Structure 1
Amino acid sequence: MDLQQLRYVVAVADALNFTRAAERCQVVQSALSHRIAALERELGVRLFARSSRRVELTGAGAAFLVGARECLAAADRAVADAAAATGVVRGRLAVGVIVTTAAVDVPELLQRYRARHPDVQVVLRSGRSDELAAAIRAGELDIAFLGLPEGERPAGLETVVLDHDRHVLVVPAGHRLAGAARVTLDRIAGETFVDFVTGTPARAQSDQAFAAAGLARDVAYEAGVVELITRLIARGLGVALLPSAYIRPLAAEDPRLALVPVVDGPRRLEYLAWSRFNPSPATRAMLDVLGVRTPESPKGTARAPHG
């Protein structure tokens, strides 16, 4: 058994197609099939059930795949660690980000990181804060930018607070509250709301604030992205509570929207999170670019993340 055979198994498992797997591995299909067949003979089990039209993992194949991925990840880490010992950062960095990140200009950050560490393959994934935190714990992401309600903290991860933010009320420009100096949750509870999808951390920020105030509200429109939320508001279909640091630049360019401070509204913390267990050289390099001290240094400090 060798690493190349493991790579072939993973490729076929991901594609469930020998032809596409061979293309991904840049080998001819016959060579890939031969190496996997040889591995199956060595193991004494079939890893894949094959027919002329379908390829599926067997039970033994599914069990083998877990260890195969771990072995390949360990091999990649060994290469990265060896390179880091010579002062060169290599490997792969998987970054997660929520769509409403405001504490850091992520594209600018990735540009700076690539300029310093061109040998690192960077991949970016957007999603919900809870999903991204779970992906770090599962080893699928190295580092992520999260947003959570005040008082919540990503469990089991190293974190640094990047920003504290208050939500503002976003209303259509012609709304009766558009010119108000400030409002309270009690004053706006009767409005029709646009918000994020139920069960997401972004939605929980507003839900928890209304629940703490003993108030109920009507969320008529749920959306997964801010762009749809603001378009619904601009059409006069509802109002929303959104993080001020994120929405202010957008509202400044859209005359259809007006922002109103909320005295007792939701508060959000933006976090930088990464794994507590032996961060990779590529992850440590990103922390360095951000000015965040690594576990070997005094923890919990960071300079301004905008660089």
Structure 2
Amino acid sequence: MDLDTARTFVAAADAGQFQEAAAELAVTQQAVSKRIAALERELGVRLFTRTARGAELTIDGQAFLPHARELLRVAERAVASVRTGSRPLRVDVLASRSAASGLMRGFHRAHPEIELDVVWLFDIETAVAAIRSGSIDASFRAVAVPGRPLPEDIECARVLDEPLQLLTGPAHALAGARSVNLAQLAGHRIWMPGIVPGTEWAAYYDDLVAEFGLTIEATGPNFGSDALLDTVADTPALATFMGEHTRLVWPAGHDLRRIPVTDPTPVYPHSLIWRRDNPHPALAALRDHLDSAQPARPGSNVWTPSWTPAWTQR
């Protein structure tokens, strides 16, 4: 059923005159008459009776009126559900304990009035497809991996350089160090079962291994961070890399050590990506927040892959 016709019927019913309904709708009286006649043909009943005072609803018109009003209310709710800024901003943070998740928590504290939907998508291809389809508004990713450029309609901005730390158990050979440099890590077994070939973080660690001669093992099933922490705590020969802003909690008996890595400090480059023509006003607010709340960047003695996007100023 045509919504303009239903709207015309309700206006005529409320006004009691086709002429007043026409003035309210900014159309001619003839247009009102044609719409009412078309609606009556569609329904197979008469909706109005013409009188000296104007137009009165028939019994069928009275029965149809509350349903026509509800039809218009449903249509308005449908439009409102997708009106710019009326729906939650939907952002992918990859993992709940990640640095990106912390950035979004900070945004929520700064802007509690903005509704958010936070999701966890696995790989960058899935995230980009979701952004392009409108399923999400933005995603935090490491981008610009060689051979996999972003589509032209996707924008990106580097938002956080997260230093890596070495995580060891109490019996590891480096457990007592205040810091370790990358050269010291050559020959040590660094276990990271969460590295999946083809992902952007796999590309990052492949470049790190190639440049500094490290040994990173991704063998065995990935049972999650709790199982990883249990194994590192109990195995003196194993250590793992952990982002400085990654939030983890472990039993006190594990006595795990988070040790800064230096000379140079490897940093993981987080970027925000979004579709260039996305009009959601909260997306602009998120970008402004990330610009203004940017943590102090590591010094000049840092390492990132050659494909890392440059920092830009808005």
- The equivalent residue for 1:244 is 244
Q: Distance in 2 between matches of 1:160 and 1:303?
A: 13
8 Å contact from structure 2 (residues 137, 275) kept in 1: yes
CA gap 1:212/1:260 in 2 versus in 1, 3 angstroms: same
What residue number does 2:267 align with?
A: 267
Instruction: For residue 262 of structure 1, give the secondary structure of its aligned residue in structure 2.
Output: strand
TM-score by length of 1: 0.55
Root-mean-square deviation (CA, aligned residues, Å) is 4.0
What whole-Å deviation, never above 9, does each CA across 1:93-130 have from its counterpart, x for those lacking one? Answer: 322112253254434534665x424xx5x432113351
1:140 aligned to 135, 143, 166, which one?
Answer: 135
2:150 paired residue number? 155
**Cα offset, 1:252, TM superposition:** 11
Moved more, 255-264 or 145-154: 145-154
Please say which structure displays the higher CA radius of gyration.
2
| Structure 1 residues 129 and 234, CA gap change in structure 2 (3 angstroms) | same
Q: Over residues 166-211 of structure 1, what are the superposed CA-to-partner deviations in whole Å (9 max), with x where a residue is unaligned?
A: 2111110221101123334443333333212332333333232011
The answer to whether the 8 A contact 1:150-1:268 is kept is: no
Unaligned regions of 5+ residues in structure 1, if any? 4-74, 293-300
Aligned length: 214
Residues 224 and 142 (structure 1 numbering): CA distance in 2 closer, same or farther, change over 3 Å?
farther
Residue 107 of structure 2 corresponds to which residue in structure 1? 109
Aligned letter for 1:155? Answer: L
Spell out, residue by residue over 1:204-236, the C-alpha distance to the aligned partner (whole angstroms, 9 max, x if none).
332320112245444444527433322321222
Consecutive unaligned residues in structure 2, runs of 5 or more? 4-75, 296-314
Contact 1:251 1:259 in 2 (8 A): no
Change (3 A) 1:188 1:202: same
Deviation at 1:159, TM superposition (A): 2.2
Q: Secondary structure at the match of 1:116?
A: coil
- 1:190 matched to which residue of 2? 187
CA drift at 1:139: 2.8
Question: Scaled by the length of structure 2, what TM-score is found?
Answer: 0.54
Indicate whether 1:127 and 2:121 are aligned.
yes
- Equivalence map 1:79-118=2 (5 Å): 79=80, 83-84=83-84, 89-99=85-95, 100-102=97-99, 104-107=102-105, 109-110=107-108, 113=111, 115-117=112-114
Partner of 1:178: 175
Distance 1:205 1:194 in 2: 15
Q: Which runs of 4+ in 1 moved over 6 A?
A: 75-78, 149-154, 251-254
Contact map agreement 2:140 2:271 (CA 8 A) in 1? yes
Task: State whether residues 191 and 239 of structure 2, in contact with CA within 8 Å, keep that contact through their aligned partners in structure 1.
Answer: yes
Q: 1:229 to 1:132 in 2, by over 3 A?
A: farther
SS for the counterpart of 1:165 is strand
